[in-house]
Amino acid sequence: MTSFLRSLFLLTTSFLLVMGCRDHHFPGDAIAIRSDFQRFDRAFFRTDTAHFEQALPRLQRQYPMFFGQDATQRFWRHQRTEPLQRELYRKAQQVFGDMSAQNRQLHKGMKRYYHHFGTQDTLAFYAYISRLDFDYPVLYADSLVFAALDLYLGAQAKYYQHLPRYLAYQRKPAFLVPDVLTAVLAEKQPPLPEDPTLLEAMVHHGKQAYVLHQLLPELPLARVFKYRPKQLRFAQAHEAQMWGYFIEQELLFKRGQRLLRRFIEPAPFSKFRTKLDAKTPGRIGHWYGYLLVKHYMEEKPGTPLPRLLRETSARDILRLGGYQP
């Protein structure tokens, strides 16, 4: 018995060591590029208002991408002292602190990104306060990525009380880095056709979700789609039933904004016009797009992620993946 226990201990220890190595070694480990959020918000709101005119030129040299030619010193002083902006900055400090957790997640995700997409274009990331510009929580411009911290302060933050609950839920800090990486991936993907079929829209968003999960494999799948866990469980439990609806109604190859509003665009729930609608998660087409792409990649496991994003034939992904719930 002693010998058996000793052998079991050695086997268990070896297994844990191997798993530990897997946790610490992943594609891109050898890439030296460091990805962190540069804190324009801190640099700006920590300037001394008593000597603001002297501090502003230093900020302009350090962060030229934030300063247009038309803005005056008076404009920037107003931005620095405006009560709402200052309040949003203080709240962001409480929520994010030094952003060490976000920087670790971003760095890991970008290591994998550079491993798959190459390092010829390195990206820089900046955190700032947008004064609640809900249209642009994340901006990508010319290899620069801007993340508005004031749009990720938590679903219960008072600044989002006017939003529907399903939109306020997306303002959680946990969605900041996934949104940043999604914006980066969108630059690597051809745009949707002007009038896409439902299948084309599904696969377009499914590819983004699939690649995002490859960059952040530790991310819970519900978080990839901005679903509550119970919403993902519902989608999984009713996968065959909902897919059957798409097939029976011959919707996959139909076009039209009404169809996209039902299954692709943000909404509190998807619209199958059944009694279960209120329980379905919104944007269910993104979920099915992910499943189609996942099955396609299982059939073609050597497909590079850049090639997957460039693939424009949604029909091929459906046909070659052989998805059947």
* 71-97 pLDDT, tens digit each: 788 999 999 999 999 999 999 999 999
CA-CA-CA-CA torsion sign (148, 153, 155, 156): negative
CA dist 56 and 64 (Å) reads 11
What pLDDT shows up at residue 280? 96
For residue 12, the model assigns a pLDDT of 43
CB 146 within 8 Å of CB 126: yes
Closest-CA residue to 150 (of 236, 271, 258, 44): 44
Of 294, 305, 40, the closest CA to residue 181 belongs to: 305
Task: Tell me the C-alpha distance between 302 and 177, whole Å.
Answer: 27
Hey, which residues does 140 pair with through a beta bridge? 145
Q: Identify the CA nearest to 291 among candidates 230, 241, 243.
A: 243
Tokens 């600044």 map to which residue?
Answer: 159
Query: Measured between alpha carbons, how far is 253 from 193 in angstroms, rounded to an integer?
Result: 13
Domain boundaries, the chain: 37-186, 198-321
- The confidence score (pLDDT) of residue 29 equals 75
Rounded Cα gap, residues 116 and 105, in angstroms: 17
Cβ-Cβ contacts under 8 Å for 4 (sequence gap 6 or more): none
pLDDT tens string, the chain, 325 residues long: the values are 444 344 434 444 443 334 444 444 566 678 889 999 999 999 999 999 999 999 999 999 999 999 987 778 899 999 999 999 999 999 999 999 999 999 999 999 999 999 999 999 899 999 999 999 999 999 999 899 999 999 999 999 999 999 999 999 999 999 999 999 999 999 999 999 999 999 999 999 999 999 999 999 999 999 999 999 999 999 999 999 999 999 999 999 999 999 999 999 999 999 999 988 999 999 999 999 999 999 999 999 999 999 999 999 999 999 999 999 9
Q: How far apart are CA 117 and CA 200, in angstroms?
A: 23
Which residues, 6 or more positions from 80, have their beta carbon under 8 angstroms from its beta carbon? Answer: 44, 45, 47, 49, 52, 86
Contact 290, 297 (CB under 8 A): no
Direct distance between the N- and C-terminal alpha carbons of the chain, in angstroms, rounded to an integer: 47
Pairing of strands 37-39, 124-128: parallel
Report the 3 state secondary structure along the chain: CHHHHHHHHHHHHHHHHHHHHHHHCCCCCCCCCCCCEEEHHHHHHCCCHHHHHHHHHHHHHHCHHHCCCCCCHHHHHHHHHCHHHHHHHHHHHHHHCCCHHHHHHHHHHHHHHHHHHCCCCCCEEEEECCCCCCCCCEEEECCEEEEEHHHCCCCCCHHHCCCCHHHHHHHCHHHHHHHHHHHHHHCCCCCCCCCCEHHHHHHHHHHHHHHHHHHCCCCCHHHHCCCCHHHHHHHHHCHHHHHHHHHHCCCCCCECHHHHHHHCCCCCCCCCCCCCHHHCCCCHHHHHHHHHHHHHHHHCCCCCHHHHHHCCCHHHHHHHHCCCC
Find where tokens 């005119």 sit: 53
Cα separation, 253 vs 90, whole angstroms: 49
Q: Do 172 and 151 contact (CB within 8 A), yes or no?
A: no
pLDDT tens, residue by residue, 36-54: 999 999 999 999 999 999 9
